[in-house]
Structure 1
């Protein structure tokens, strides 16, 4: 017996019955998620401290607050986001109703990574709930304390006929991916992303992948070195350096910085040029002698022209330019403009780290290192099927007779004129 079969059948039955479609139900689910965040703040902070040694401040700013902001934004705009979107019409359809309808996909699977074990699954969950989908959430087994809270506490705040948490490691995840879902969302590593996108291909299931890319950081010659050092060090050390747009390791003693204890083995793969001290935690380290990839090189000095070349060459396009086109562009406005016009990346941060990730109004998504986008309304759009709709009257048949053969010279000329010279009239 497949232990997942009953769970998935229950969720599909709830969706087929239309339980999740009303704006009232969606709002109730979002409010439940908001209460989960508010009423279990200390429990969540303790779980994040156990998993990643996150300080209360970092847990609040990088995980809990960002999730709450997404909930608040979705509740504030839910009715507006759900509205049909009218589109321009041509002369043939002036008496018809043409619009884009946003409808839920159905049964959605969200697979979460370990580096932001609360932020990444719950920010995407907001979008899935707001669009009226039923959801299976698979937390990371590597963040055991957070996984436990998500599995045992979160379902108490949501309708369990429409939401489920599935636990397990890689083997269980592969078994989960054997089932048919209507949409799959995964923010994590490219290695796992390849598995996630390949498994549902037999079902033609649409997938969003938000993966970690290589992120150069460009520092112009005339920047203030101390300012750049402060900002680059902050966003590279934040969250143990385990952010898709700013990875690095941590100093040993700071109570404000997290810990990743599985990195020790990586330091043995090559000569350590700088740092390398490791006990229970790892100091900031640079490995050698193999040529570093863009993100491993750290800040790069040079002209805008010299940096545009590697960013547009054979390497994958970066996730961020601050580190991506560079994720970080520390330079004059004219150089920023040059980089924006001559490079491509998922996001761009000028003269800062990854503060852009705190804005729900800006999308998060890659070019070569991902498929799709999310955050705020972009999450709502991602988890919605956009259905093109044209509703015509059953009467007015005389007007429609123009479309029917046999075509006269006059009707052909008129149809060509309508579809050619007047393709779309403004609404």
Structure 2
């Protein structure tokens, strides 16, 4: 399979793109709501015209089936655009705030304004959706944008470059393809905002580079997202939803359940139900199934194979090296000392830990970096409250997996080591907007007690301000 040729961008060319975008931004062209709406409609039309090519590219790079590729990538982009078009006018309106007693006669409001030229650096696991979702927010807020797709999914990267290049001027939106050197050059540029999605390690590099120029950032990272199955859970339904969340995109999902904590009393039933769900979704030999995805490259494939040496394989464990495919695998008898429990797995391997005391689970999770997601399966409102209030995490679900990311009405983002900032729906608009505080004072009268020349004013000030 021939890979698309990638243009080699030089640092001076990248500097020129950023300079052009900054100049275009100062023209005020991007500020009007009508302009922003027109660009969002244009983006939607560009995606519609390229839809088949996008799906084909996702298949080439990640072996995603049309159904999975559309629902988890293209369809979510349409939803984001549609919601933004519907609500944009409301979002852009200044927001009035209350007037303090000390400020009688004045009016105060928050006025959203674009940051300017933003840099969006996207990952490879959802290489289309994780470019377009933040881009929609950047456009809606009135910014220009430089986009860096992942070089690990070259077919999708090429489609994004063509789609943006055919429909938008580079002074407004530009795609810069390339590897590490290109990323390093981009991080030197005086952009006004950086939106990065990727690993925690690279996120630290991005934040360090941004700090040198005091550039604000949103970091969408990852981590080991726990899934707790309590003894009162609906086990069969929990198994289906865990299999759905864990093995979508063969586990290459930042919010996939990374490991299971299951109550000892329901572990045998849950393991059996997971086996049945895997075979229902993917058959008895998923590695040979065309619509079952692949690991992105040899490096990640070999990294995952090493994890199969930890604990004992309870189910699955088969693989095809030439296809970079690994079957859904359950690992038993693992401990936190094993390599599979040290870093985010990002593959179709699910370690199972058992417990009797929920408090020990809470303590153990809290003793590790804060996860991007958490999932709890229990019918007890008290247990639900105990878990969600005792553990810090970016977002998650009760009695489900992944679905919190699919609604544009909930913000998506991490906390601590799993990231900072959030987006989706209105939260994307807010992420790419600075809210200016403005106070308009009246000229109809003037309160003299504020001035140094006023006499006997302390008593009045105390009465007003206490």
- Note whether the superposition's TM-score is higher than 0.5: yes
- Alignment-derived partner of residue 425 in structure 1: none
Q: Does 1:341 align with 2:396?
A: no
Q: How does 1:310-389 map to 2 (within 5 A)?
A: 310-313=364-367, 315-322=368-375, 328-368=376-416, 369-389=418-438
Choose from 312, 320, 323 the match for 1:278.
320
TM-score by length of 1: 0.91
- Alignment-derived partner of residue 26 in structure 2: 16
Are 1:135 and 1:163, in contact at CA under 8 Å, matched by a contact in 2?
A: yes
TM-score by length of 2: 0.83
- Alignment-derived partner of residue 75 in structure 2: 65
Q: Does 1:253 align with 2:288?
A: yes
Q: Please list the CA deviations of residues 188-246 of structure 1 after superposition, one character each: whole Å capped at 9, or x if unmatched.
A: 11111111111121110000001011111100112243322222112100012111111
Give the unaligned 5+ runs of structure 1.
323-327, 421-427
Are 1:123 and 1:375, in contact at CA under 8 Å, matched by a contact in 2?
A: yes
Paired with 1:330 and 1:39, the residues of 2 have a C-alpha distance of 44
Q: CA deviation at 1:269?
A: 6.1
CA RMSD of aligned residues (A): 2.1
Q: CA deviation at 1:161?
A: 2.6
Are 1:112 and 1:140, in contact at CA under 8 Å, matched by a contact in 2?
A: yes
Q: How does 1:146-165 map to 2 (within 5 A)?
A: 146-165=156-175
Q: CA deviation at 1:270?
A: 7.2
Are 2:24 and 2:171, in contact at CA under 8 Å, matched by a contact in 1?
A: yes
Q: Please list the CA deviations of residues 269-314 of structure 1 after superposition, one character each: whole Å capped at 9, or x if unmatched.
A: 672532153322222344967435387634654443232212222x
Are 1:308 and 1:342, in contact at CA under 8 Å, matched by a contact in 2?
A: yes
Per the alignment, in what secondary structure is the counterpart of residue 289 of structure 2? coil
Give the unaligned 5+ runs of structure 2.
1-10, 259-277, 345-349
Paired with 2:355 and 2:399, the residues of 1 have a C-alpha distance of 14
Choose from 104, 108, 118 the match for 2:114.
104
Choose from 245, 261, 264 the match for 2:301.
264
Choose from 354, 360, 363 the match for 1:309.
363
Query: How many residue pairs are counted as aligned between the two chains?
Result: 411
Paired with 1:377 and 1:198, the residues of 2 have a C-alpha distance of 28
| Moved >6 Å (runs of 4+) | none
Per the alignment, in what secondary structure is the counterpart of residue 405 of structure 1? coil
Are 1:217 and 1:299, in contact at CA under 8 Å, matched by a contact in 2?
A: no
Per the alignment, in what secondary structure is the counterpart of residue 118 of structure 2? strand
Paired with 1:2 and 1:137, the residues of 2 have a C-alpha distance of 17
Choose from 133, 138, 148 the match for 1:138.
148
Per the alignment, in what secondary structure is the counterpart of residue 229 of structure 1? helix
Q: Does 1:244 align with 2:286?
A: no
Paired with 1:389 and 1:302, the residues of 2 have a C-alpha distance of 55
Per the alignment, in what secondary structure is the counterpart of residue 184 of structure 1? strand
